[in-house]
Structure 1
Amino acid sequence: MPIRHIIVHQIDKKPDGSPAVLHARDAELPESQATENLLADLNEAYNAKQGKAWGLFHPESGAYPLAGWLKRYLAGTEDFTTFSRTAVERLQALMEESNLSTGGHVLFVHYQQGMTEYLAIALLHHSEGVTVSDTLDVNPSRHLDLGQLHLAARINLSEWQNNTASRQYISFIKGKNGRKVSEYFRDFIGCQEGIDGPGETRTLLKAFSDFVEKEDLPEESAREKTQALVGYAMAQSKLGEPISLDELSGLIDEDRPKAFYDHIRNLDCGLSPEIPADKRTLNQFRRFTGRTDGLSISFEAHLLGDKIEYDEEGGTLTIKGLPTQLTDQIKRAKA
């Protein structure tokens, strides 16, 4: 992951209404193993975060100036240090307006992953700990706590510049339970939600269930295809990459690599060719299976509470929307 430019500034701010004080670095960080490790750790922590949103820049204005500053930097009219200094001063001003905000170290890093360029911006905090020295003394130690990463965004610069129709070139961490503490950071980035990650993932899983039912696949084959879908989607989520419907279709059915893709297009369910993977939704997509006395039951977990209802007290399942093939067999047997 080659780093093109990286810099860290510090905003000293306590959530007590006191003024925010900026300590700005006047030059980029030099390339080193430490900065490479920091970027790798940041990406790992960011990709693992649940509750992210995907979107796009608001139209450039006085309220949302970051996109304009970023354009000037990418056009070469100002350098990375100047861009980051202008941006962090804006963040400082927004912090002062937010009584809920606390300061921290603000990381700006422009890097390349494969053929794609990204800009990551994150507010980092330290944790206090202890360390054992070479002389076996126990000393206090401070370290960056990426496990407490709550304010961060990543901009896919390549997609922003080359795909004007895209509505998902920015990802950012959303505040939990509607907390307003993160709103000032979202306003600083100047982004709006353009795509519903959980909703898109649910639509994909529903389309997959319809595909399995339509194909009338044997249980083992359905299980293998489910594992292929979930495994691929989870791997993409870990990498911070979207699900490619075309690539997924090839993994689900190698003999007919376009079958699932064509099925989605025929459904006209509004899915984009690439969608963000929502880990929480994927974790719910598991199959329940069981056999007893000539009875075999298997269904995806997300159907529970929808097409399938479980009465724990009575020990019964109520199934809605039975497969036509099954109901036809029962009708013939009763005739």
Structure 2
Amino acid sequence: MSCVISAFIVHKLVRDNNQLRAEQGPGILPMNDSIQRLMDKLHEKYIQQGGRSFGTFETDQVTFPISKFLEASNIVTNHTQFYDLSLNILQHLVAKASHTSATGGWVVICLYQHSNHQNLSVAVVNEVVGAGINENFEVEESIYIDLSKLRHAGRIDLTKWQNGANNYVSFIKAIRDSTYFKEFLGCNTTINSVVESNNVINAIHRYCHDNNLNYDDRKAIESRAYDFLKSASQANAPINVEHLANAAAPEDSENLKEFLSSDEFQINDGFVPDLRSLKKLLELTTKSSFWNIKINREAFNNGADYDPETKILTIPVTDPSDQAEFAKEVQGIDEDD
């Protein structure tokens, strides 16, 4: 699905003599096929690359003024305000990046719609010099935008923000210099390890279901994911989706990484898994007003059975003392008998 672009502009960050400055673009650019292809690729790469963090705007609008800039403009319905908004964003970006090792680059700012949501994206991208062959069969220099590895990019889901939802701000949590981009966006990424762990578990279950994996393959992925997440939890070590995908599905890690990185699950990179929540990868549960049962998935290889037609779960009782207790209950035997 292509991005429906409403407004697109490019500015530039330049570092001269260890000083970072901005070069302003002349205005909102007229749409063409090149801009469309660039934004479609940028949107796709932003999601599929993974390594993102999600959050909400900080309440301090003096230190973190992006939300104030948005409130003062009405860019969703009035695109003429987009250029002034982009200049405010650019000035704030320079202020936040000046005291880092950021080397500069092209600042791409775009207002676009995707999956019925209005988004504002900001990315700092760089040029790469390559080679091309022209119509005369001659090799000539070719300069293009490098999107192979995004390091500084963020997005604000304006629809979610205006509707009072959560996790409407996101950014790529790069290995280096990601702190300045987080502060530039004013993104509060308070992480709940239980919520994040459940998001990961739900995503892995969905991945297995959507790929129609058989029982053994599904169990293998879930078991490897459990071992990886358990080790991280016990070591109090933050995880990222790429490493999890490599561990859980080594033969299909790229597809699993893209699945875990999707907007649907909004998994924050860098959280420590909650050990108690991880049991859901190995257990099935069912409860009513009369019972609350947790059963390990391995039970179905050790005597347990479930009939989808009758909806009856059968579990063998193997412990002798438990057998006696259940026998008394169903046979009406008193303790004195």
TM-score (norm 2): 0.62
Unaligned runs of 5+ in 1: 211-218, 244-275, 282-299, 304-319
Q: Equivalent pairs: percent with the same residue?
A: 22
Q: Which amino acid aligns with 2:94?
A: Q
**Structure 1 residue 61, shift from structure 2 partner:** 2.4
**Structure 1 residue 74, shift from structure 2 partner:** 2.1
Partner residue, 2:27? 27
Partner residue, 1:306? none
| Match 2:188 to one of 178, 189, 192 | 192
Instruction: Decide whether the 8 Å contact of 2:52 with 2:269 is kept in 1.
Output: no
1:152-171 → structure 2 map (5 Å cutoff): 152-163=153-164, 166-171=165-170
Structure number with greater Rg is 2
**Structure 1 residue 206, shift from structure 2 partner:** 5.2
Q: Secondary structure at the match of 1:12?
A: strand
Matched, 1:116 2:112: no
- Alignment deviations for residues 100-152 of structure 1 (CA, whole Å, 9 cap, x no partner): 11100001101111321111111111112111111111112211110121011
Instruction: Decide whether the 8 Å contact of 1:6 with 1:108 is kept in 2.
Output: yes
Q: Which amino acid aligns with 1:89?
A: Q
TM-score (norm 1): 0.62
Partner residue, 1:297? none
Q: Secondary structure at the match of 2:167?
A: coil
Partner residue, 1:146? 147
**Structure 1 residue 90, shift from structure 2 partner:** 1.6
Instruction: Decide whether the 8 Å contact of 2:47 with 2:258 is kept in 1.
Output: no
Q: Which amino acid aligns with 2:6?
A: R
How many equivalent residue pairs? Answer: 249
Instruction: Decide whether the 8 Å contact of 1:155 with 1:169 is kept in 2.
Output: yes
CA separation of 1:194 and 1:158: change in aligned 2, threshold 3 A: farther
Instruction: Decide whether the 8 Å contact of 1:123 with 1:151 is kept in 2.
Output: yes
Q: Secondary structure at the match of 1:86?
A: helix
**Structure 1 residue 301, shift from structure 2 partner:** 12
Q: Distance in 2 between matches of 1:209 and 1:127?
A: 36
Q: Distance in 1 between matches of 2:130 and 2:204?
A: 49
CA separation of 1:170 and 1:204: change in aligned 2, threshold 3 A: closer
- Alignment deviations for residues 165-189 of structure 1 (CA, whole Å, 9 cap, x no partner): x33111111132xx4x121111111
Partner residue, 1:66? 66
CA separation of 1:106 and 1:54: change in aligned 2, threshold 3 A: same
Matched, 1:174 2:173: yes
CA separation of 1:182 and 1:221: change in aligned 2, threshold 3 A: closer
Q: Distance in 1 between matches of 2:140 and 2:133?
A: 6
Partner residue, 2:198? 203
Instruction: Decide whether the 8 Å contact of 1:120 with 1:152 is kept in 2.
Output: yes
CA separation of 1:31 and 1:207: change in aligned 2, threshold 3 A: closer
Q: Distance in 1 between matches of 2:281 and 2:297?
A: 15
Q: Which amino acid aligns with 1:149?
A: L
Q: Distance in 2 between matches of 1:50 and 1:11?
A: 25
- Alignment deviations for residues 54-86 of structure 1 (CA, whole Å, 9 cap, x no partner): 101101422111110011222759710011011
Q: Secondary structure at the match of 1:89?
A: helix
- Alignment deviations for residues 213-251 of structure 1 (CA, whole Å, 9 cap, x no partner): xxxxxx956977999xx999877656x4214xxxxxxxx
Q: Which amino acid aligns with 2:69?
A: W
Unaligned runs of 5+ in 2: 206-212, 222-248, 272-278, 283-295, 305-314, 324-337
Q: Which amino acid aligns with 1:64?
A: F
Instruction: Decide whether the 8 Å contact of 1:65 with 1:190 is kept in 2.
Output: yes
Q: Distance in 1 between matches of 2:153 and 2:98?
A: 18
Partner residue, 2:241? none
| Match 1:242 to one of 264, 277, 289 | 264
Q: Distance in 1 between matches of 2:181 and 2:142?
A: 29
